[in-house]
Amino acid sequence: MCMDLRRKRIRVLVDTWSEIMLNGVADRERAVELLRKLYSDAGIDPIRGASTPPDLFDKEMISLYIIGKWGLGIDKEVPREQLERLFPLEIAIERFIERLLSSSDPSRVCEEEREFCQSLDDSKVARILRFAFTKMYFGFSTEEEFRRVLKALYQALPGFEETIRRFTKFFIAYKIGEMIARGAVKNRMEMSLAKNTLALELSIPKAVPSNKYILEVAKHYFQIPERIRREVEKGKND
């Protein structure tokens, strides 16, 4: 199911790019509506966590940008002005992540990226992490790179610990879902051990998700055995 959903999402994103190229779309709102329509037609959700925020399809512009640039090489075909109109936030986030990963001291990155950091709020910080996660999810970067972004961002943005903590819970839920899907986690006890171990590795305090949250996130990416679902739902929400 994981690969099927990933392929379906890629198909939607490629089809969206086809529409953009065919019709010369340079308006972000129109691109967002294209994403909404094509995902609906495919009967699947974009990348998301347990909730469905009202700006979900605007957030999914990150996926469109990543598939376009790394999957299709669109950035070499589309005029720079069109890309900047469609993806102003994604381009800025990409540049910030590059600076973050190249810095020897992430806590000082905002001294160099002062304008970008001054514009940050919880939503934009979450999008930085979503960008790094999405690039990993579609296979254009490694899990190690995502972890580096997560830890560096925690150092760089001390005022946004809670937002980073929430995204860390999502990532742990995704990873445990992956482990369940490949049979590495077979019951509630193993799930609890795995999530606590992963939280320790990531070194983000108070970021251990509940088992029920793990299942709620994982179902959007993986096939979770009914036996494990029943065991977790009837057990403690630890």
pLDDT at 235 over 70: no
Over the stretch 2-38, which tens digit does the pLDDT of each residue have? 558 899 999 999 999 999 999 999 999 999 999 999 9
Q: Find the angle CA(128)-CA(129)-CA(132) to the nearest 5 degrees.
A: 95
DSSP output for 166-206:
HHHHHHHHHHHHHHHHTTS--SHHHHHHHHHHHHHHHT-TT
Name the pLDDT band for 115 (thresholds 50, 70, 90). very high
- pTM, 2 dp: 0.93
pLDDT at 217: 92
| Of the listed ranges 13-27, 85-99, 188-202, 222-236, the one predicted with least confidence | 222-236
Over the stretch 174-212, which tens digit does the pLDDT of each residue have? 999 999 988 898 888 899 999 999 999 999 999 999 988
